C-alpha cells in the first residue's frame, strides 16, 4: 500500500489531499462505483465504541461497494475491555487489516496509539476533539450544491464541538472563505483549534470570527449550519447548560438576511432543541442530502487511504486503476 496514510485530524491532510477527497466524493456521488474496485484485496476494520447510524453505515457500505471486505467490532468485542493497551491492539490489528475506521470512547491520542505500528491506515470516525470525516462530507455536499468552496460565507451556530472544529480546520484551507461561529459562552471553539485554523487563513485570505452572542448577524450567508447540542457520548458538567444554549437555536428568522442560504445539520437532530422543525424539514434544508453524502465521502476517504492521490488520470470514472 506504500506510505501509510491516516486521517485522525484534518491537520493530517495536505491541501492537495483535502481537495482531492472532496472532488473524489463529488465524483462518486455523480457516477457511482460501476466498473471500479478501488479497495480490491483490501480488508477494512470498522470499530465503533459509541453509537452511530450514518458514519458506521457509510464506511461499511462504502468499503463493500468499492470491492473491499469488512470486519466489524462493537464496543464489547476487543480485548481492550480486559485491559489490553491501545498500542498492543494496534500492533495486532495492523498485521491483519489495511484500514481501521474507529470511533472510541476516548480522545484522538488513542487513535494515534492504534496507528503507531504502521501498515494500517487509521480513520477517525469521530473523536472528542474532531470529526474530520464529517467535515469532508460537509464540503462535498457544499461543492455539489454550490459548485465549490472558495468565496463561501458560512454561519455556524451552536457548540464549538468536534464537528465545528473539523469544519473550521477544513474551510480555512480554501481561499476567500468567511466563517462566523456563534457559540454559547463557555462552549466555544478550543483556543488551539482556532489558532490552527487562523494560521491557515493567513495564506488563504479567508477569515474566521467567533462570538458568543446572536446579535448583529451579517447578511448574505450561503450556508447556515448547526449540530446537536448534546454531542454523542458526552455530558456537560453544568446542569443548567440548556439556558445558555437557548439563544443559539436555529430558527427561520436567521434567513431574513440570508434568504437563499442552505441549512446543514450533521444529524441526529432533536427538533425540540437546536433547530426548529420548520428549518430542518424546510425547503432550504440539505441535512438529509448531507447525510446521504457521507457514503460518497467515506468512499473517497477509503480510496485515499489505500491508493493516495493519483499522479495522473485513471481509467473508469475518469481516473486511474489501483496499482497492485
pTM (2 d.p.): 0.93
Instruction: Look up cell 455556524; give the residue.
Output: 156
Distance CA 66, CA 304 (A): 12
CATH class of 10-128+295-307: alpha beta
Helices (H), 4-131: 15-31, 54-65, 86-93, 108-115
Distance CA 64, CA 120 (A): 18
Dump pLDDT digits (tens) for 76-88.
Answer: 999 999 999 999 9
pLDDT for 317: 35
pLDDT for 318: 33
- Within 13 Å, how many C-alpha atoms sit on residue 104's CB side? 20
pLDDT for 234: 64
- Within 13 Å, how many C-alpha atoms sit on residue 296's CB side? 24
44 Cα distance to chain centroid? 19
At residue 299, does pLDDT exceed 80?
yes
3-state secondary structure 146-184: HCCCCCCEEEEECCCCHHHHHHHHHHCCCCCCEEEEECC
For domain 132-289, say whether CATH 3.30.465.10 is its number: no
| Domain range summary for the chain, segments of one domain joined by + | 10-128+295-307, 132-289
10-128+295-307 and 132-289 have identical folds = yes
Dump pLDDT digits (tens) for 154-164.
Answer: 999 999 999 99
Provide the mean pLDDT of the chain.
92
Amino acid at each position: 500500500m506504500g506510505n501509510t496514510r491516516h486521517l485522525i485530524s484534518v491537520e493530517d491532510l495536505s491541501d492537495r489531499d483535502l481537495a482531492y477527497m472532496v472532488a473524489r466524493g463529488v465524483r462518486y456521488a455523480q457516477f457511482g462505483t460501476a466498473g471500479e474496485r478501488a479497495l480490491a484485496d483490501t480488508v477494512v476494520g470498522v470499530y465503533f465504541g459509541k453509537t452511530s447510524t450514518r458514519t458506521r453505515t457509510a464506511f461499511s457500505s462504502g468499503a463493500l461497494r468499492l470491492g473491499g471486505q469488512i470486519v466489524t467490532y462493537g464496543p464489547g468485542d476487543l480485548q481492550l475491555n480486559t485491559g489490553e493497551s491501545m498500542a498492543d491492539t494496534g500492533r495486532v490489528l495492523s498485521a491483519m487489516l489495511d484500514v481501521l475506521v474507529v470511533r472510541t470512547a476516548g480522545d484522538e491520542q488513542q487513535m494515534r496509539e492504534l496507528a503507531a505500528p504502521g501498515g494500517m491506515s487509521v480513520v477517525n470516525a469521530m473523536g472528542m476533539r474532531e470529526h474530520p470525516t464529517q467535515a469532508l462530507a460537509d464540503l462535498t455536499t457544499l461543492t455539489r450544491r454550490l459548485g465549490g468552496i472558495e468565496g463561501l460565507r458560512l454561519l455556524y451556530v451552536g457548540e464549538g464541538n468536534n464537528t465545528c472544529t473539523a469544519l473550521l480546520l477544513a474551510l480555512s484551507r480554501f481561499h476567500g472563505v468567511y466563517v462566523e461561529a456563534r457559540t454559547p459562552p463557555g462552549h466555544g471553539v478550543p483556543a488551539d483549534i482556532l489558532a490552527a485554523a487562523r494560521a491557515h487563513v493567513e495564506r488563504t485570505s479567508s477569515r474566521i470570527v467567533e462570538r458568543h452572542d446572536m446579535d448583529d448577524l451579517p447578511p448574505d450567508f450561503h450556508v447556515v449550519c448547526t449540530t446537536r447540542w448534546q454531542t454523542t457520548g458526552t455530558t456537560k458538567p453544568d446542569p443548567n447548560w440548556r439556558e445558555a444554549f437557548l439563544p443559539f437555536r436555529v430558527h427561520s428568522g436567521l434567513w431574513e438576511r440570508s434568504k437563499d442560504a442552505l441549512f446543514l445539520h450533521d444529524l441526529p437532530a432533536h427538533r425540540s432543541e437546536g433547530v426548529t422543525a420548520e428549518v430542518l424539514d424546510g425547503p432550504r434544508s440539505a441535512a438529509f442530502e448531507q447525510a446521504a453524502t457521507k457514503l460518497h465521502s467515506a468512499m473517497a476517504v477509503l480510496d485515499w487511504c489505500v491508493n493516495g492521490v493519483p499522479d495522473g488520470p485513471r481509467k473508469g470514472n475518469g481516473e486511474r486503476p489501483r496499482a497492485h
